[in-house]
Structure 1
Amino acid sequence: MAHKTEDTGKYSELIARAALLATGWQAVSTSETEEAFDISAKNPVSGEWKTFQVKTIYVREDRGGARVVQARKSDGTPYRCDEVDYFIGVEIGREPVPAVWMFDNREQTEYWGPQSKEGKRWVRMDLAFSREDIINEAEAV
């Protein structure tokens, strides 16, 4: 039986991949080998490949509901920018549907997403996938 932390991490990764697809990222995939990143994907605008490390968000009720992501590697060091471009934080358990945010890697070991600054550094990702958008895009080609 898998450890509960492992189950939570895998669930967060699946939600993060769904959020990337729903927001237009292309060729969303995971690595077959051990890498610093969890997911790679192609930016739909620039065509550049980017890497993502997925973390589960913890809510600090004692700090006004601030969202916190622990961004340390197993050795306790932060992820370097040449290892991971972005973090995707997945908040589970507070609402029926997980909330997902993406933010730049700034080589920190901890990131705080206070609710008043969500739109500044943390960008909320939509999980709603619109099939109509894909059909309309295909018809335009």
Structure 2
Amino acid sequence: MAHISEVTGVYSELAARLALIANGWTVHSAETAEAYDILATDPLTGEHKRIQCKTIRQRHDRGGDLVVIAKKGNGTTYDLSDADYIVGVWAAEGNVPRVFIFENRLLGEYWCSAARASERWVELPLALNRSIYAEAI
């Protein structure tokens, strides 16, 4: 049986992929291991973007603030050749996950209050936005 941290990581990445697709991004699969988790095409610019997916943790000892730890396994931050964007997935127990995307600012941690998360980061709804896929008549 898989360890809970592995399950949580896979769950977060799948939620991130679903949210990106629901919001018009084209999500690609790599055949080889890469520094980024997801390669996706931005629906507005058509540019390919490298995305690092992280699970958001809620720090109850810090007033409920949300934190994204954006470090590699060796403890260093992701540089721009590793990831253009960070996607954070907040999967609170028993709730539908919330997915946020923000630019990689080369920080090891990204913080915000739960109340301001949608103001500070761009929230990607999981609901499919069919209108962005509708053909022009």
TM-score by length of 2: 0.91
Maintained 8 Å contact 1:104/1:121: no
* Post-superposition offset of 1:119: 4.1
Unaligned runs of 5+ in 2: none
CA distance in 1, matches of 2:116, 2:100: 12
Residue 123 of structure 1 is matched in structure 2 by: 122
Say which structure is richer in helix. 1
State the Cα deviation string for residues 8-42 of structure 1 (Å, max 9, x = none).
Answer: 1001000000000111112x023221211000111
Secondary structure of the structure 2 residue equivalent to 1:41: strand
Residue 18 of structure 2 is matched in structure 1 by: 18
CA distance in 1, matches of 2:89, 2:23: 15
Maintained 8 Å contact 2:67/2:110: yes
The within-5 A match list for 1:89-100 is 89-94=88-93, 96-100=95-99
CA distance in 2, matches of 1:130, 1:103: 20
State the Cα deviation string for residues 85-121 of structure 1 (Å, max 9, x = none).
Answer: 0011111124521011111101111111223542454
Q: Among all aligned residue pairs of Structure 1 and Structure 2, give the percentage whose two residues are the same amino acid.
A: 48
Secondary structure of the structure 2 residue equivalent to 1:88: strand
**Greater RCO structure (CA 8 Å; 6+ sep):** 2
The within-5 A match list for 1:53-64 is 53-64=52-63
Distance 1:44 1:134, change over 3 A: closer
CA distance in 2, matches of 1:116, 1:97: 17
Residue 52 of structure 1 is matched in structure 2 by: 51
Whichever residue aligns with residue 3 of structure 1, its letter is H
* Post-superposition offset of 1:45: 1.2
Whichever residue aligns with residue 6 of structure 2, its letter is E
Maintained 8 Å contact 1:30/1:38: no
Residue 76 of structure 2 is matched in structure 1 by: 77
> What is the RMSD computed on CA atoms of the aligned residues?
1.7
Maintained 8 Å contact 2:24/2:132: no
Distance 1:134 1:107, change over 3 A: closer
Residue 9 of structure 1 is matched in structure 2 by: 9
Distance 1:76 1:119, change over 3 A: same
Whichever residue aligns with residue 76 of structure 2, its letter is T
Higher alpha-carbon deviation: 121-130 or 98-107: 121-130
4+ residue stretches of structure 1 with deviation over 3 A? none
Residue 114 of structure 1 is matched in structure 2 by: 113
